[in-house]
Structures are given as structure tokens and as C-alpha cells.
């Protein structure tokens, strides 16, 4: 343990020269300075650009304003750069280049020491703060996406009238889709990957604390361009924005493209950080077969994000280029190909499902052991399942393109690979079932989420196998059946798992227990509404109702009414759950440091978690799920106690 | 040079922020830079896929630029040559600082900075003097983006090598703590590979092999 002692003797470590007060420029920056700087730079860019570079009055062949695309793109980019500069993101690289290295006092200031709640609104590097920031951002995005879903369902439920303009309705669909995809990507890996994983593996922080802050604030900067698309003509082509529709879309499309480009940077940086943290910063004694399964889930998700997000990013960079400088990657009459876009898009588009589902599933595997008080059933199979999904996810993307006409001969190999991925994914479900088998269940809210997710995974998984078959897909593609399927996977298996995971780790993050009664009411209400919404949607799809339509035949009325009622019930349930979170956060029952009696490391440190996580870095001496297995130290202690008793008796 | 060897001769310095021996964060940084390279490589592959895909399809016979005005090959290879030299020089400097010759890294980073500036300017000149615009067909678009990617890489590289120069000059990169220079050298090496692949595609895959391409329509009807 000598290393640990050295780490805490900071006074003994020679420090570089302190330039000014600790924190330097970051003492003066926050979300306010970032927003002001972003807006100012955006306005200046727009003003200069519109004055000098846009020939107002001149129109393109499609009657759009010449130069407007470039102007809007430049304005969005200026917002992002201005915001990042204003919040202090460039201070670190500049200090490094100038040779003004951080002192320990600088690092502590940047981690938020002594700044109270204001640290949540600054470029703070502490992984726990970043975890909270991600949590709030995920809740905001889920709220926004959910609200848009309510509007969509209102339109589809009011079968006797048209509520929205068709173009606006299409924009609602597209914006809802991408907002929810982003929210689901971050909802587990963001808050829990950042807050929990470093503590869970026995580290003091993430490997690269400043990159951690950078990844969050890039995400923050990416959201306004996306949301603003609704005011600029919208994105009317679904969240996939196939070409050349995207190229022919109003300027609002540029908000989507800029958002994805920046979000991909954010995800790449976060992936680098999480992988490096898990690989290099595990506590002494935490060998690979002692790593908690949740950390494996985050690792697998990060690997997929690292490798495949750049494909998504470049699909949008090239689309933006086509729109702004009239290049021809996707414009057929100029030598481009729409299939190129679809390939680049789906190379991430499908692994992204597992980027969402794998950490969520791993979180449930993690908490199940606690509420069943038994080891994870076949830990190695679970790890193999995650590895298998990560590997095979890279060769399944074409099943999204069966009906596009691209390489028909490739359909069958990709049908095989898609069906193959259900095997490692099935491993994870079997590990869940095996762990529950003959266990004594401590039925709390997180465990209820486990049951819900198993149900949703079975429904979503089986319907996914149907859709992976080329002949079935020829009938089902583009129908409400597909919409119901992917909602069962992304929302049923992803969001409900996230709710369970948040309920489980809530005491560690906030020091309070999530109100079980209110939380359960919210959860089960949402679950019931979910079954009604998407069960009805399966029926509509099987009847032949296409997706992304505003008007439809009366034959689909009943299923749409049911779906809309279900959607409102989901909304009510989620609001109740949100109330439980906020109420418990402020007034909940204090939890202590380990209310569940868990064996993993994050529960062994005190709550609230101190800045450096552990007073002394832990040494791991046992597997993470040794519930029911005698603790060797208990044995030693008992023997010592027995010996002591014997010697006492002997002395008598 | 291993950390063990160094620690035998002199005590290893400690990181001022975490208090760990500097070789510990250096290990993390090394993995981090490898992962950054993987991520950047995937992006580069996306561009190369776009290039080769459109080259092989020749959609609507619109791959070639107007009047078959292909880009001159020489500037591509001159820029690659410059980056390769910068990489070799940086590694020479890194080996030097590891052997205790601080001046070698200073000289190397000065030379590398000059070369990178020249390569960056050359890249901008090439972009400005292509015999086509980015909207002159698929080849023109793809070639523009390969050149833009190299320009972006060079811009980032310029920041990194000048930072290494400044840090070495200020005594922050030393024989006991040469890790940042090594990381930058690793990154330069990757940039060599990326620029080489871009140049290879842009100069050898010009005329499409698909001379009888079907019409895919314009999607404008």
C-alpha cells in the first residue's frame, strides 16, 4: 500500500509554478460565459456572412436562397466553437502548449473543490460531477423526446382531423427519433459510466478528467442546433435522413448534421476515456475475471462507439458538404450514390442499438446479484455474450438495406449474421434467467425493472429475428411493426433498464433512497402504457399500416387510438417517476453508504463519495459476486477469535 | 527505455496533479493515443470507402472531372514526403531526449515544425489550385475531402509539434519524462499513414474501371 501513501502526500511532490490563482481562467468561465460567447460568435458570423457572402434575392433551382445553407452551417459551427471557448474548453490545451502545467491546486479547483453546487455549471473535471451533468442532460432529452412523441401520438390518435401541418409532423418524427437515440445512448453510459465505473473499479477519477468534461460540454453544445431545426423548416426525413432527401431539405437539416458531427466527437472522446480507465486504472487485485460485469458492458459499448461513430460522423460531414459546397457524394446526377450514405449511416446505425442495450443489460446483471444474494450465473458466458455482440455487431448493418436494392446477393449472408447475433445476445438473457433461477428475490424496484426488461427483450428479440429474414422484411419493412419492434428494444430493454439502474445507484449518487412506492407506481404505469402503445402498434403493422404517415385508412383507427392512450399513460408514468427522483433527491430517506449490502467497490466507500473516491486505494481480494461464498477474511477472523477464546480459556 | 532502467539511475519524477510516478499516467496516455488513432483511422477509412465506392460505381458516368482534368499527383506525394520526414525527425528527437540529449529534441521539433508548416501551406495551395471545384463530379468531391482531411491533420500536428518545442525548451520534457514527445511522434506516424493512403487513392485510382456504368437516375423527376 506504499503507493497509496505517496499519492496522498501531495506536499512531497514537486509542483510546477502556480500561474495566478488555482484554476486560472476557469475561475471565470461557466455555462453563462459559454452561452454568451457562443451566441455572440454565432451572431457575428451570421451578420458578416449575410452581409458579405449571401447574395440576397438570388435563388437556387429549388427556389431556396443561394448561400443560405453555408451561412446557417457557419453560424452553427460558430456557436459550438464560441460556446466551447467561453466555457473554457480550450484553456487546457493552450496551457499545455505554453508549458503552464497544472498544479495539484489547479487540478483540485478544476475538480470542483470548494465550489458548491456551482461546479455543476462549470467545466468541472470530477467524474461524479460529469456523471450528474449527463444524468440531467439525459432527463432533459428524454423529456423533450417524450413530449414530441406525445405530439406525434396526438396527431395519429385524432383520426378525424389533422392537428399539424404535414411537413411539421414529419419534422416532429425526425426530431423525436434522433433526440431519443441520443438520449438513450447517454442515459446509462453517461451518468453511470462516469459516476459509478471509476469507483467500481477502484480508481480515483477517469483516466483523462479534462477530456471527460470536454465530452459532456460538446454534447451540450450539440443539442441547440438540433432542436433549432424545428424553427428552420425542420428535418422531414426521419432520424435516418436518407439521401438525397436530406440534400433537398430546408436549412433545418443542417442543425441535425452539425449536431451529429459534434456528438460523434463527444462520444469518441468519452469512449477513449472509458476504455482507458477500465483497462489501466483498475484497483490492485482486480484481475480481468474480477471486473464487475457492468464495467464490461461499458467497455463493450465504448469499443463500439469508438470504432463505429466516426462512420456516422463522416456520413454527416459528407452530407453537409453536399449541402453547403455542392459536392457530390450522394447526388446521383453528379456521380454520387445514395447507397454510400446508407452504408456509412448503418455501419454505426445498427451497432448503436447495442451501444444502448449492452450497458443497460450489464447494469441489470450487476444489480441482480445484489437482490438475489447469489453469484452471477455463468459470469464468463456473460462476458462472452458482450464480446460476441461487440464483434458481430460490425457485420449486420446491411439488414437495414434489404429493400434498397443495394447488393441483393448480400442479403442472405447478412441475414445469417443478424440471426447469429441473437446467440451472444441470448447468452445475456440466459444469464439473467439463470441468476434468477432458485434465487431468493429481494423484490425492490430495480428487480421489477429486471422482469420488465426480460419481457421486453423477448418480444423485441423475437420480432427482430422475423425482421432479419429477407422474405419477412419484404412485407414488414417500413411498417408500424418495425416501429414497435425497435421501441421494444430501445425503450423496453434500454429505458426500463436505465430506470432500474438509476434506482439501484441512486443512493450512491445522492445519499438517499429512491422513494420505492412512488417510483414503482411511475414505473409500472409507464410499463403498462408501453405494452398498450407498442402492442397495438404491432397489430397496426401486421394489418399493413406504414410508418411515418399522417393519414391512414380507418381500418387502423382502433389500434392507433389504443397506441395514443398508451402513450399518454407512458407520459403520466414517466412524470410520476421523475417526481419520485426529484422528491427523493431533495427529501428522500438517507441511505448510508451501502443500503443494499452490495459487495462491489463503489458501495464500500462512504456516501457522499469524497473527491478522491477512496481515502486509501482498495485492494481486491475476491470475486465481485461472492454472495453466499464464505469470505476468507471472515474465516481468518473466526479462527483468530476461536484461538483467542481458547487461549483465554487456557489462561483461566 | 523502460521505467525500471531509469529508476535505477535516478528517482522517477512524480505527477504534480496525481502524485503518481510519471510513467503511470504515461501508460494511460499511450493507450489513449492508440485509441484516438483507431478512431481517426475509422474516419479515414470512411473517406477512403467513399472514394473507392464512387470510383468503382461511376454513377451516371459522372465520376471524372470536367475535361478529364485530374489532379496532379506530385503535390500529393510531396506533402506525404514532408510528413514522413517530419515523423522521422520527431522520432530522432525522441530517441535523443531518451538518451539524455535535450538539444536533439529541440532541433527535431524546430525542423518538424518548419516541415509541417510547409506541408500545410502546400496543402492549402494544392486545394486552391486543383483544376476543378468540389462540385465538379464525384472524383473532385472525394479528392477535395482527402486533401481537406490531410490539411486538418497537419493543422493539428502543427499545434502539437510547436507545443513539444516549447515544452522541451522550458525543461518540461526531460530524459526522465519524455512521454509527451513520444505520444506526438506516434501521432505523426499515424498521420504519415493517413496521408499516404489518401495520396495513394487520389493518384492511382483516377479513371473509373466502370466505363459502362448504368444510369441510376437523378431522383429529381
Tell me whether residue A380 is in a domain. yes
Query: Based on the domain organization, do A151 and A80 belong to the same domain?
Result: no
Residue A623, classed as helix, strand or coil, is: coil
A652 pLDDT band, cuts 50/70/90, is: very low
- A430-460: per-residue pLDDT in tens? 999 999 988 889 999 999 999 999 999 999 9
Verify whether the Cβ–Cβ distance B17 to A102 is below 8 Å. yes
Query: Based on the domain organization, do A183 and A85 belong to the same domain?
Result: no
C-alpha cell at B46: 470512411
Q: Which residues contact A205 (CB under 8 A, 6 or more apart)?
A: A111, A125, A126, A127, A198, A612, A613
Q: Report percent pLDDT > 70 for chain A.
A: 95
Which of A103, A244, A310 minimises the CB distance to B39?
A310
B219 pLDDT band, cuts 50/70/90, is: low
The predicted structure's pLDDT at residue B7: 41
Q: What is the mean pLDDT of residues A628-645?
A: 66
B79 near B150, Cβ under 8 Å?
yes
CA closest to B140 among chain A residues: A327
Which has more confidence, A493 or B154?
A: B154
- Kindly list the residues from chain A whose CB atom is less than 8 angstroms away from the CB atom of residue B46: 310-311, 313-315, 344
B104 near B96, Cβ under 8 Å?
yes
Last residue in a domain, options A100, A135, A158: A100
Q: For A451-482, give the DSSP string.
A: HHHHHHHHHHHHHHHHHHSHHHHHHHTTBHHH
A495 near A501, Cβ under 8 Å?
no
- What are the beta bridge partners of residue A479? A546
Kindly state the DSSP code that residue A80 receives in the 8-state scheme.
H
Q: What is the mean pLDDT of residues B179-190?
A: 96
A531 near A488, Cβ under 8 Å?
no
Nearest in space to A131 (alpha carbons), one of A43, A214, A184, A195: A195
The predicted structure's pLDDT at residue B2: 34
CA closest to B45 among chain A residues: A311
A198 near A127, Cβ under 8 Å?
yes
- A326-353: per-residue pLDDT in tens? 999 999 888 999 999 999 999 888 888 9
Q: What is the mean pLDDT of residues A526-539?
A: 96
The predicted structure's pLDDT at residue A633: 65
Query: Based on the domain organization, do A272 and A196 belong to the same domain?
Result: yes
Question: Does the CA dihedral A195-A197-A202-A206 come out positive or negative?
Answer: negative
Is A474's pLDDT higher than 70?
yes
Tell me whether residue A309 is in a domain. yes
Q: Which residues contact A11 (CB under 8 A, 6 or more apart)?
A: none
- What are the beta bridge partners of residue A546? A479
Count Cβ atoms within 10 A of the Cβ of residue A11 and give its class: 0-12 exposed, 13-18 middle, 19 or more buried. Answer: exposed
- Kindly list the residues from chain B whose CB atom is less than 8 angstroms away from the CB atom of residue A99: 166-167, 170, 172
CA-to-CA distance for A86 and A76, rounded, in angstroms? Answer: 15
Verify whether the Cβ–Cβ distance B32 to A208 is below 8 Å. yes
CA closest to B171 among chain A residues: A99
Query: Based on the domain organization, do A200 and A65 belong to the same domain?
Result: no
- A258-287: per-residue pLDDT in tens? 999 999 999 999 999 999 999 999 999 999
- What are the beta bridge partners of residue B21? B14
Tell me whether residue A72 is in a domain. yes
C-alpha cell at B48: 477512403
Residue B21, classed as helix, strand or coil, is: strand
CA-to-CA distance for A53 and A63, rounded, in angstroms? Answer: 18
Q: Beta-carbon neighbour count of residue B109 at 10 Å?
A: 30
Q: How far is CA A52 from the centre of its chain?
A: 41
Which has more confidence, A168 or B17?
A: A168
Per the structure, the complete domain to which residue A267 belongs is given by 126-621
The predicted structure's pLDDT at residue A439: 85
Average pLDDT over chain A, rounded to whole?
A: 91
Query: Based on the domain organization, do A75 and A183 belong to the same domain?
Result: no
| Lowest pLDDT segment from A10-19, B21-30, B157-166 | A10-19
Which of A24, A326, A335, A407 is best to mutate for the B interface (most B CBs within 10 A)? Answer: A335
Tell me whether residue A10 is in a domain. no
CA-to-CA dists, residue A157 to A61, A85, A146, A561, angstroms: 38, 45, 16, 5
Which domain CATH number covers A240? 1.20.210.10
Verify whether the Cβ–Cβ distance B166 to A10 is below 8 Å. no
Is A517's pLDDT higher than 60?
yes
- Kindly list the residues from chain A whose CB atom is less than 8 angstroms away from the CB atom of residue B132: none
Is B137's pLDDT higher than 60?
yes
> Å from B81 to nearest chain A CA?
26
Is A128's pLDDT higher than 60?
yes
Is B92's pLDDT higher than 60?
yes
CA-to-CA distance for A624 and A478, rounded, in angstroms? Answer: 45
Q: Which residues contact A369 (CB under 8 A, 6 or more apart)?
A: A375, A376, A435, A624, A625, A627
Query: Based on the domain organization, do A339 and A236 belong to the same domain?
Result: yes
The predicted structure's pLDDT at residue A646: 53
Q: Inter-axis angle of helices B102-129 and B179-204, to 10 degrees?
A: 30
Kindly state the DSSP code that residue B170 receives in the 8-state scheme.
T
Is B80's pLDDT higher than 90?
yes
Question: Does the CA dihedral A578-A579-A580-A584 come out positive or negative?
Answer: positive
The predicted structure's pLDDT at residue A648: 45
Output the pTM of the full model: 0.92
C-alpha cell at A538: 404491432
- A142-171: per-residue pLDDT in tens? 999 999 999 999 999 998 888 999 999 999
Q: Report percent pLDDT > 70 for chain B.
A: 92
Query: Based on the domain organization, do A33 and A172 belong to the same domain?
Result: no
Query: Based on the domain organization, do A96 and A146 belong to the same domain?
Result: no
Last residue in a domain, options A55, A84, A100: A100
Query: Based on the domain organization, do A50 and A156 belong to the same domain?
Result: no
Query: Based on the domain organization, do A81 and A130 belong to the same domain?
Result: no
Q: What is the mean pLDDT of residues A83-90?
A: 96
CA closest to B22 among chain A residues: A13
Query: Could you give phi then psi for residue A59, rounded to 5 degrees?
Result: -120, 150
C-alpha cell at A254: 443542417
- Kindly list the residues from chain B whose CB atom is less than 8 angstroms away from the CB atom of residue A13: 14-16, 19
Radius of gyration, CA atoms only, chain B? 22
Verify whether the Cβ–Cβ distance B18 to A271 is below 8 Å. no
CA-to-CA distance for A229 and A419, rounded, in angstroms? Answer: 37
Tell me whether residue A5 is in a domain. no
Omega cis (within 30) before A608 = yes
The predicted structure's pLDDT at residue B221: 47
A19 pLDDT band, cuts 50/70/90, is: confident
The continuous run of DSSP H or E covering A272 comes out as helix A252-280
Which of A208, A276, A318 minimises the CB distance to B50?
A318
Verify whether the Cβ–Cβ distance A7 to B219 is below 8 Å. no
Nearest in space to A448 (alpha carbons), one of A413, A415, A388, A497: A497
C-alpha cell at A280: 489501466
CA closest to A323 among chain B residues: B135
Which of B13, B20, B39 is best to mutate for the A interface (most A CBs within 10 A)? Answer: B39
Q: What is the mean pLDDT of residues B205-215?
A: 84
C-alpha cell at B203: 493518384
Q: Which residues contact A409 (CB under 8 A, 6 or more apart)?
A: none
Per-residue 3-state assignment (H helix, E strand, C coil) for A74-131: HHHHHHHHHHHHHHCCCHHHHHHHHCCCCCHHHHHHHCCCCCHHHHHHCCCCCHHHHH
Verify whether the Cβ–Cβ distance B28 to A244 is below 8 Å. no
- B32-71: per-residue pLDDT in tens? 999 999 999 999 999 999 999 999 999 988 999 998 899 9
The predicted structure's pLDDT at residue A401: 87
Which of A281, A310, A334 minimises the CB distance to B138?
A334
B26 near B114, Cβ under 8 Å?
no
> Å from A24 to nearest chain B CA?
15
Residue B178, classed as helix, strand or coil, is: coil
Is B211's pLDDT higher than 90?
no
Structural domains in chain B plus CATH codes: 21-204 (1.20.120.80)
Q: Beta-carbon neighbour count of residue A633 at 10 Å?
A: 10
Q: Which residue has the cell 502524485?
A: B19
Query: Based on the domain organization, do A95 and A175 belong to the same domain?
Result: no
Tell me whether residue A217 is in a domain. yes
The predicted structure's pLDDT at residue A65: 74
Q: Number of folded domains in chain A?
A: 2
Residue A584, classed as helix, strand or coil, is: helix
Verify whether the Cβ–Cβ distance B20 to A7 is below 8 Å. yes
CA-to-CA distance for A362 and B26, rounded, in angstroms? Answer: 30
Verify whether the Cβ–Cβ distance A272 to B32 is below 8 Å. yes
Average pLDDT over chain B, rounded to whole?
A: 91
Query: Based on the domain organization, do A70 and A178 belong to the same domain?
Result: no
| Lowest pLDDT segment from A51-65, A533-547, B120-134 | A51-65
Q: Which residue has the cell 420505492?
A: A516
Tell me whether residue A118 is in a domain. no
- Kindly list the residues from chain B whose CB atom is less than 8 angstroms away from the CB atom of residue A343: 49, 53
- Kindly list the residues from chain A whose CB atom is less than 8 angstroms away from the CB atom of residue B42: 306-308, 310-311
Which of A93, A275, A328, A390 is best to mutate for the B interface (most B CBs within 10 A)? Answer: A328
The predicted structure's pLDDT at residue A649: 43
Q: What is the mean pLDDT of residues B144-163?
A: 97
The predicted structure's pLDDT at residue B212: 77
Kindly state the DSSP code that residue B13 receives in the 8-state scheme.
P
Tell me whether residue A551 is in a domain. yes
- What are the beta bridge partners of residue A59? A65
Verify whether the Cβ–Cβ distance A344 to B219 is below 8 Å. no
Q: How far is CA A582 from the centre of its chain?
A: 21
Kindly state the DSSP code that residue A359 receives in the 8-state scheme.
H
Q: What is the mean pLDDT of residues A78-86?
A: 98
Verify whether the Cβ–Cβ distance A97 to B135 is below 8 Å. no
Verify whether the Cβ–Cβ distance A14 to B162 is below 8 Å. no
Phi-psi region of A233 (alpha: psi -120 to 50; beta: other; left: phi over 0): left
A17 pLDDT band, cuts 50/70/90, is: confident
- Kindly list the residues from chain A whose CB atom is less than 8 angstroms away from the CB atom of residue B61: 335
A377 near A423, Cβ under 8 Å?
no
The predicted structure's pLDDT at residue A219: 97
CA-to-CA distance for A525 and A531, rounded, in angstroms? Answer: 10
Which of B42, B47, B157 is best to mutate for the A interface (most A CBs within 10 A)? Answer: B42
CA-to-CA distance for A327 and A336, rounded, in angstroms? Answer: 9
- Kindly list the residues from chain A whose CB atom is less than 8 angstroms away from the CB atom of residue B39: 268, 271-272, 306-307, 309-310
Amino acid at each position: 500500500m506504499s503507493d497509496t501513501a505517496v499519492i496522498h502526500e501531495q506536499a512531497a511532490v514537486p509542483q510546477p509554478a502556480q500561474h495566478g490563482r488555482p484554476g486560472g481562467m476557469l475561475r471565470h468561465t461557466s455555462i453563462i460565459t459559454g452561452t454568451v460567447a457562443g451566441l455572440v460568435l454565432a451572431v457575428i458570423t451570421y451578420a458578416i456572412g449575410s452581409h458579405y457572402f449571401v447574395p440576397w434575392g438570388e435563388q437556387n433551382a429549388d427556389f431556396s436562397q443561394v448561400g443560405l445553407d453555408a451561412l446557417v452551417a457557419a453560424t452553427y459551427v460558430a456557436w459550438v466553437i464560441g460556446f466551447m471557448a467561453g466555457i473554457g474548453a480550450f484553456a487546457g490545451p493552450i496551457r499545455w502548449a505554453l508549458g503552464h502545467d497544472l498544479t495539484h491546486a489547479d487540478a483540485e479547483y478544476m475538480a470542483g473543490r470548494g465550489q458548491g453546487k456551482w461546479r455543476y455549471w462549470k467545466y468541472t473535471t470530477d467524474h461524479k460531477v460529469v456523471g450528474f451533468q449527463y444524468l440531467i442532460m439525459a432527463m432533459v432529452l428524454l423529456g423533450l423526446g417524450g413530449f414530441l412523441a406525445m405530439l406525434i401520438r396526438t396527431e395519429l390518435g385524432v383520426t378525424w382531423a389533422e392537428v399539424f401541418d404535414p411537413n411539421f409532423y414529419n419534422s416532429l418524427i425526425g426530431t423525436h427519433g434522433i433526440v431519443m437515440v441520443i438520449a438513450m445512448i447517454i442515459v446509462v453510459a453517461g451518468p453511470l459510466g462516469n459516476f459509478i465505473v471509476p469507483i467500481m473499479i477502484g480508481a480515483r477519477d477517469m483516466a483523462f478528467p479534462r477530456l471527460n468534461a470536454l465530452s459532456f460540454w460538446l454534447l451540450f453544445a450539440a443539442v441547440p442546433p438540433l432542436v433549432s431545426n424545428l424553427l428552420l423548416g425542420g428535418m422531414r426525413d426521419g432520424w435516418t435522413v436518407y439521401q438525397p432527401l436530406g440534400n433537398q431539405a430546408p436549412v433545418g437539416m443542417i442543425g441535425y448534421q452539425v449536431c451529429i458531427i459534434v456528438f460523434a466527437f463527444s462520444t469518441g472522446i468519452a469512449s477513449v476515456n472509458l476504455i482507458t480507465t477500465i483497462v489501466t486504472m483498475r484497483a490492485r487485485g482486480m484481475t480481468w475475471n474480477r471486473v464487475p460485469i457492468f464495467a464490461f458492458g461499458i467497455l463493450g459499448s465504448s469499443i463500439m462507439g469508438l470504432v463505429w461513430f466516426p462512420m456516422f460522423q463522416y456520413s454527416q460531414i459528407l452530407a453537409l458538404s453536399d449541402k453547403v459546397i455542392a459536392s457530390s457524394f450522394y447526388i446521383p446526377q453528379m456521380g454520387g450514390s445514395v447507397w454510400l450514405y446508407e452504408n456509412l449511416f448503418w455501419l454505426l446505425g445498427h451497432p448503436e442499438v447495442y451501444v444502448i442495450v449492452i450497458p443497460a443489460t450489464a447494469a441489470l446483471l450487476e444489480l441482480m446479484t445484489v437482490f438475489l444474494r447469489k453469484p452471477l450465473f455463468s459470469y464468463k458466458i456473460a462476458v462472452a455474450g458482450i464480446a460476441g455482440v461487440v464483434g458481430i455487431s460490425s457485420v449486420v448493418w446491411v439488414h437495414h438495406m434489404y429493400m434498397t436494392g443495394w447488393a441483393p446477393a448480400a442479403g442472405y449472408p447478412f441475414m445469417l449474421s443478424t440471426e447469429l447475433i441473437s446467440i451472444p445476445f441470448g447468452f445475456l438473457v440466459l444469464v439473467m434467467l439463470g441468476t434468477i433461477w432458485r434465487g431468493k428475490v429481494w423484490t425492490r424496484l430495480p428487480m421489477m425493472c429486471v422482469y420488465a426488461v426480460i419481457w421486453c427483450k423477448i418480444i423485441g428479440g423475437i420480432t427482430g429475428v422475423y425482421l432479419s429474414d429477407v422474405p419477412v422484411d419484404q412485407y414488414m419493412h417500413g411498417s408500424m411493426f418495425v416501429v414497435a419492434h425497435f421501441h421494444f428494444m430501445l425503450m423496453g430493454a434500454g429505458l426500463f433498464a436505465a430506470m432500474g439502474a438509476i434506482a439501484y445507484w441512486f443512493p450512491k449518487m445522492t445519499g438517499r433512497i429512491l422513494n420505492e412506492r412512488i417510483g414503482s407506481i411511475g414505473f409500472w404505469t409507464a410499463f403498462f402504457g408501453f405494452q398498450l402503445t407498442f402492442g397495438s402498434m404491432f397489430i397496426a403493422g401486421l394489418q399493413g399500416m406504414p410508418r411515418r404517415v399522417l393519414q391512414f385508412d380507418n381500418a387502423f383507427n382502433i389500434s392507433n387510438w389504443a397506441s395514443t392512450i398508451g402513450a399518454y399513460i407512458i407520459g403520466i408514468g414517466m412524470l410520476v417517476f421523475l417526481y419520485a427522483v426529484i422528491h427523493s433527491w431533495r427529501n428522500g430517506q438517507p441511505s448510508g453508504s451501502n443500503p443494499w449490502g452490495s459487495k462491489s467497490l463503489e458501495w464500500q466507500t462512504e456516501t457522499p463519495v469524497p473527491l478522491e473516491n477512496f481515502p486509501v486505494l482498495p485492494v481486491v481480494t475476491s470475486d465481485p459476486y461472492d454472495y453466499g461464498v464464505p469470505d476468507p477474511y471472515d474465516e481468518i477472523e473466526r479462527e483468530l477469535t476461536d484461538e483467542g477464546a481458547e487461549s483465554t480459556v487456557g489462561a483461566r | 527505455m523502460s521505467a525500471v532502467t531509469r529508476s535505477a539511475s535516478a528517482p522517477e519524477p512524480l505527477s504534480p496533479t496525481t502524485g503518481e510516478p510519471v510513467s503511470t499516467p504515461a501508460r494511460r496516455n499511450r493507450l489513449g493515443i492508440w485509441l484516438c488513432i483507431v478512431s481517426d483511422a475509422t474516419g479515414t477509412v470512411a473517406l477512403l470507402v467513399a472514394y473507392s465506392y464512387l470510383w468503382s460505381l461511376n454513377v451516371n458516368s459522372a465520376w471524372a472531372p470536367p475535361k478529364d482534368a485530374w489532379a496532379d499527383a506530385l503535390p500529393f506525394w510531396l506533402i506525404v514526403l514532408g510528413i514522413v520526414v517530419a515523423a522521422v525527425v520527431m522520432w530522432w528527437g525522441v530517441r535523443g531526449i531518451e538518451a539524455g540529449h535535450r538539444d536533439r529534441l529541440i532541433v527535431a521539433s524546430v525542423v518538424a515544425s518548419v516541415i509541417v508548416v510547409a506541408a500545410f501551406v502546400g496543402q492549402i495551395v494544392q486545394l486552391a489550385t486543383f483544376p476543378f471545384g468540389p462540385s465538379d463530379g464525384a472524383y473532385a468531391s472525394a479528392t477535395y475531402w482527402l486533401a481537406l482531411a490531410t490539411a486538418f491533420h497537419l493543422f493539428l500536428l502543427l499545434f502539437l509539434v510547436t507545443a513539444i518545442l516549447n515544452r522541451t525548451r522550458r525543461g518540461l520534457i526531460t530524459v526522465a519524462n519524455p512521454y509527451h514527445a513520444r505520444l506526438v511522434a506516434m501521432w505523426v506516424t499515424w498521420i504519415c499513414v493517413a496521408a499516404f493512403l489518401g495520396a495513394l487513392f487520389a493518384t492511382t485510382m483516377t479513371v473509373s474501371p466502370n466505363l459502362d456504368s448504368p444510369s441510376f437516375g437523378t431522383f429529381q423527376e
